Amino acid sequence: MPPIDLFSGLSLLLCCDSFNANNDTATTTLPITTPTTTPATTPTTTPAPLLPMALRTEAHHEDVTHSEPVNDEVDDDDEVEYVNTVVVKLPSKMAGGGVGHLVQINVFIGGLKEALQGGNLPQDIQLIMDILNSSCNQEHLQGIQEDPQQDTNSDDLHNTTISLSTSEGGNGECNPSVEKEKGAGKEEMMKGAEEEEDKKLAWWQRNIVYQVYPRSFQDTDGSGKGDLKGIAMRADYLQQLGVATVWLSPIFTSPMADFGYDISNFTDIDPILGDMQDFDFLLQEFHARDLKVVLDLVPNHTSDQHEWFTKSVLREDSYTDYYVWADPKGYTPSGTPIPPNNWLSVLRGTAWQWVEERQQFYLHKYRKEQPDLNYRNPAVRSHMKEVLKFWLDRGVDGFCLDALKHLYEAEDLYQDEPVSLKSGVSDPLQYEYLEHTLTVNQPEVFQIALREWRDLIDQYPDRFLIAQLYDPDISEIMKYYGTSSAPLSHFPFNFRFIQYLKTRDDVTGHNLLAYITEWLDNMPAGMWPNWVLSNHGNSRLASRVGGDLVDALHMMTMLLPGTPITYYGDELGMEDTYVTWEETQDPYGKNFGPTRYQEASRDPSRSPMQWDDSHNAGFSSANNTWLPVNDNYLTVNVKAQMAAQESHLRLYQRLAKLRQEVTFTHGNLTFPVVTQQVFSFLRSHLRSHSYLVVINTSRQQLLVDLTKGTGLPPTATVLLRSVTHTTPRRVIHTTPGSEVNLAVLRLKAGEGLVLRLPTQA
């Protein structure tokens, strides 16, 4: 497969309905089915498919594996089920109209060449032709001729390539044709991004971003709640872990209606966490170790206890229009004021709150204690820039700006949003009941607010800006990058793995490839990807997908091109903690009452960090902590995993070190074998080692052939292995340092391997 050049702005294209017309073509592996293959069930949480339906249901469900009972020894007579494989090169835009388009199919396995020489297209290739024809008005198929220059004994990829191209006819119709081309060789496969190896990466591109939830990291005053001094105290741990950027969840003064996301003072520290002196000490300790500090800040709204809001209620001076105020649309017969429109809060119910004193409604897209600021008022934008400048001048390295898509709403506040008609949504007070055409991602978010903030950030050397938002529409998220000529955030958080990997069954090779390529495919040219597995608003990674996959998914996010973001404790495999109703702290959970609080509470993923096996896991000396410590802290803790030769933590450290190699900072990316049960990707560089990451996403042990039609060598050396699988009942062939046969590679359920390929002569 040709490599993906990370620095050329090319995107990996997998489907015709998500193409960017400005992108060049690229490749991915799609397999040809065998009669015995049973299609796997697509998880209900999977987003809109990235592949045409025919390819998903037919050609996409293959297997290059052989399932078997668990056995730690390889027998000479082990049989492996082999399946023919194709590589499909899709066009920039599969649609008629003036530009030629290309679908390239590399057909591996000699057995298929006879059919090709005879002029017959195998069923799966005909499927792709049918898809191509569906976008054309007329079909024209030429014969296939053997290329006499194709050397099946060469060191190339041993493939036959067919190109299906369409061109616009004189009558505007597009006509597919078939011709023979020579397959790509090793040199072509390896060239690309490595010529950019001297390009200097910014610190936020090189570093791992580590999210700390301050209340839960380390308590130093015996309050049972974490504090800034505790975070500073753990600076050495963070450095040893291999992270170099720490993202702090909100630390500003807050009445805690939403645990810090309702800010009453943007330029001071909440007393629960410490004071400004403590923050300055933290900054000093971190910078002394070359650790960066990124603050989580919510510019969309304030607390209703903020001085600005108090003055706005009273219509004082320039604060009168600091928030979004509106007169009632009318009154009920009983005299109750009617909200100006049908807009809903993200948390359910009307987004409008009546203030008797002012005789107007104010807008709150979240809780009523979180009134929305009016960004159409230049004074508000100016004031928020002063907030950012205050922290930048103090030495903060960057910001994560939250809830950005809600910054603006339609200027006319007396318009209703349309009903969404979404399946399964019948509650008119549920946020999803409406199509939010007037209240999110308004043009001014990008043209005014975010543009001004990026201009300010760029006045300070080496500073960093992250956009944080959830949106099902990938094209909306990509707007927060801006463009290479007019950048906005350095990147918007990529929450696709959080959104769609909800259960163990959601983790399949096909799904992983889809979510990765969806981001790379849509990312604007010259921008940088990122990968988030977990955060403070969702269930922990180990609890969602199972502890056996934690290491493998860390291998994936740490070694893909881009910046990995780690939630505190995930490096240990920490799990959600059971929290009783009486122990519940999260306002969202409390709103659901004692019988349903677990449906909404975020408390389970916010439990105290597990440092050792002492009282309260070494988190606090208090009798009771603000949330209970997980019962598994006696074995799942930093001290135990640091002392162990193999552990989640030790593997994480090794991955953090490995990702600094030039292969991972500047190397190419390809996906040699992807099936429902197996996910793999190759990072390669002409002047360094090549590495293959392989993950068994299934619940059973597999034998995998990674050599057929991929151009991979017959053997490789095991560099890293999931620690869940490092203590089998017998020594097996995937021990780190051992050489493995890539044609008969044994993978246990959930196992991940990092393999180093032999150096090319």
CATH of the domain at 460: 3.20.20.80
Domains held by the chain: number: 3
In this structure, the answer to whether residues 605 and 683 fall within a common structural domain is no
The pLDDT of residue 687: 87
Among 196, 229, 264, residue at a domain's last position? 196
CA distance linking residue 436 with residue 337, whole number of Å: 24
Grouping H, G, I as helix, E, B as strand and the rest as coil, residue 246 is strand
In this structure, the answer to whether residues 185 and 217 fall within a common structural domain is no
CA distance linking residue 227 with residue 607, whole number of Å: 14
In this structure, the answer to whether residues 649 and 751 fall within a common structural domain is no
Asked if 752 and 555 count as a contact pair (C-beta separation under 8 A), the reply is yes
Which phi and psi angles does 556 have, rounded to 5°? -65, -55
Asked if 365 and 431 count as a contact pair (C-beta separation under 8 A), the reply is no
Among 610, 634, 654, residue at a domain's last position? 654
The pLDDT of residue 668: 96
| In-domain check, residue 415 | no
Which phi and psi angles does 747 have, rounded to 5°? -125, 130
In this structure, the answer to whether residues 647 and 555 fall within a common structural domain is yes
Return the closest-CA partner of residue 538 out of 588, 607, 605: 605
In this structure, the answer to whether residues 210 and 273 fall within a common structural domain is yes
Measured in whole angstroms, the distance separating CA 148 from the mean position of its chain's CA atoms is 45
| In-domain check, residue 739 | yes
In this structure, the answer to whether residues 182 and 272 fall within a common structural domain is no
CA distance linking residue 749 with residue 761, whole number of Å: 35
Among 175, 196, 217, residue at a domain's last position? 196
| In-domain check, residue 688 | yes
The pLDDT of residue 760: 67
In this structure, the answer to whether residues 115 and 213 fall within a common structural domain is no
Return the closest-CA partner of residue 539 out of 601, 593, 608: 601
Asked if 328 and 358 count as a contact pair (C-beta separation under 8 A), the reply is no
Residues of the chain below pLDDT 50: 1-62, 69-195, 197-198, 726-731, 761
**Tell me, what amino acid is at 400?**
C
In this structure, the answer to whether residues 639 and 689 fall within a common structural domain is no
Q: Which long-range contacts (CB under 8 A, 24 or more apart) does 681-688 make?
A: 681/556, 681/559, 681/560, 682/712, 683/559, 683/561, 684/3, 684/189, 684/190, 684/757, 685/190, 685/193, 685/194, 685/197, 686/190, 686/191, 686/194, 687/194, 687/197, 687/662, 688/194, 688/661, 688/662, 688/663
Other Cβ atoms within 10 Å of 84 Cβ, number: 19
Containing structural domain, residue 149: 16-196
| Dihedral (CA of 468, 473, 479, 484) sign | positive
In this structure, the answer to whether residues 382 and 501 fall within a common structural domain is yes
The residue ranges of DSSP E strands in 170-276, in sequence order, are: 174-182, 209-212, 245-248, 252-253, 265-269
Return the closest-CA partner of residue 527 out of 490, 486, 474, 479: 490
Question: What's the pTM?
Answer: 0.78
Return the closest-CA partner of residue 721 out of 744, 702, 695: 695
| In-domain check, residue 117 | yes
In this structure, the answer to whether residues 138 and 252 fall within a common structural domain is no
| In-domain check, residue 669 | yes
Burial of 516 (0-12, 13-18, 19+ CB in 10 A): buried
